[in-house]
């Protein structure tokens, strides 16, 4: 094997404050990201690059702490409930989520369509909160679900507030996945949408993530003007013509963002 021990260049090495065991432990939890079901020790070891022994010890520890559990068939492990406690603490203590929640609720009352809050992590848009409407599409979009920034109305809105260089970095990062037949995957086309968004102050995405759905997104900047999140409002194309939807919803969404802002 003989991996060169000398090239990390980044950080993990020779950082006297860095606790290896903890980092290894977190990679175990992260291993479930690409999983489709329970993971065995061997699978965890493979995904994390750890020894089976290491995986065993880490998993053992997580089990004692409650974060992992032996799956019902005894042939693997799954994340367990205490994870949700962390979720709750994160959402509860996040200042943006705190400020946005009542506003989103009010917004949903007015537009009577689904309202989402997603957070920008520099790469993806991660759903943090959802206010549903009556007719519902998919449950699939759970808290913590994430989609590429380039594929959602909120992502476009965020991109429109970023300097060109960062937009390039994100668009050129990975190829953009084709989620629906109408998802724009050509960076140039997306740049076009971004330009439109800059003019309008909001983005309108038609069937980018789900066929039959139109979504309007507005970015939320932090105190320094950097976009850190977005509001989405989503509705059905069977009930709205896109332009009508935009005219009706855009002012409300903009107003909502305004009242979320620090000032």
Which residues of this chain interact with DNA, rule CB under 7 A? Answer: 16-22, 24, 40-43, 50-54, 56-60, 70, 74-77
Which residues 123-142 are close enough to bind a second copy by CB under 8 A?
Answer: 126-129, 131-132, 134-136, 139, 142
Beta strands in 30-164 (DSSP E): 68-70, 77-79, 114-120, 124-131, 146-148
The four Cα atoms 96, 102, 105, 107 give a dihedral, to 10 degrees, of: -80
Residue 156 has which token pair? 């476009």
Rg (CA), the chain: 21
Residue 47 has which token pair? 């995904």
Which residues 31-50 are close enough to bind a second copy by CB under 8 A?
Answer: 32-33, 35-38
When CB distances are held under 5 to 8 angstroms depending on the partner's kind, the choice from DNA, a second copy, none that residue 81 binds is a second copy
14 binds a second copy (CB under 8 A): no
When CB distances are held under 5 to 8 angstroms depending on the partner's kind, the choice from DNA, a second copy, none that residue 96 binds is none
Beta strands in 50-195 (DSSP E): 68-70, 77-79, 114-120, 124-131, 146-148
When CB distances are held under 5 to 8 angstroms depending on the partner's kind, the choice from DNA, a second copy, none that residue 165 binds is none
Q: How far is the CB of 261 from DNA (least distance, A)?
A: 22
Which residues 147-206 are close enough to bind a second copy by CB under 8 A?
Answer: none
Neighbour tally for 39: CB within 10 Å: 26
Q: How far is the CB of 48 from DNA (least distance, A)?
A: 11
Q: Which is nearer to DNA, 41 or 194 (CB)?
A: 41
When CB distances are held under 5 to 8 angstroms depending on the partner's kind, the choice from a second copy, DNA, none that residue 50 binds is DNA
Q: How does 8-26 read in b/e, with b if 16+ C-beta sit within 10 Å?
A: eeeeeeeeeeeeeeeebbe
Name which position in 81, 181, 225, 243 contacts a second copy (CB under 8 A): 81
Q: How far is the CB of 54 from DNA (least distance, A)?
A: 4
């Amino acid at each position: 094997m003989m991996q060169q021990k000398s090239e990390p260049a980044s950080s993990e090495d020779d950082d006297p404050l860095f606790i290896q065991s903890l980092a290894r432990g977190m990679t175990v939890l992260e291993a479930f990201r690409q999983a489709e079901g329970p993971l065995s020790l061997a699978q965890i070891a493979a995904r994390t690059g750890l020894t089976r022994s290491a995986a065993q010890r880490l998993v053992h520890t997580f089990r004692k702490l409650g974060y992992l559990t032996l799956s019902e068939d005894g042939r693997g492990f799954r994340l367990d409930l205490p994870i949700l406690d962390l979720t709750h603490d994160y959402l509860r203590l996040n200042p943006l989520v705190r400020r946005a929640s009542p506003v989103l609720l009010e917004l949903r009352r007015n537009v009577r369509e689904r309202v989402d809050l997603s957070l920008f992590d520099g790469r993806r848009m991660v759903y943090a909160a959802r206010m549903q409407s009556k007719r519902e599409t998919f449950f699939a979009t759970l808290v913590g679900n994430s989609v590429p920034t380039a594929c959602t109305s909120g992502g476009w809105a965020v991109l429109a507030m970023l300097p060109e260089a960062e937009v390039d970095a994100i668009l050129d990062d990975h190829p953009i996945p084709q989620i629906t037949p109408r998802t724009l995957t050509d960076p140039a086309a997306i740049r076009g949408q971004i330009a439109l968004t800059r003019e309008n102050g909001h983005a309108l995405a038609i069937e980018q993530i789900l066929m039959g759905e139109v979504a309007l997104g507005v970015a939320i900047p932090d105190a320094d003007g950097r976009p850190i999140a977005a509001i989405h409002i989503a509705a059905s194309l069977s009930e709205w013509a896109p332009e009508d939807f935009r005219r009706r919803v855009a002012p409300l969404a903009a107003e909502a963002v305004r009242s979320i802002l620090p000032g």
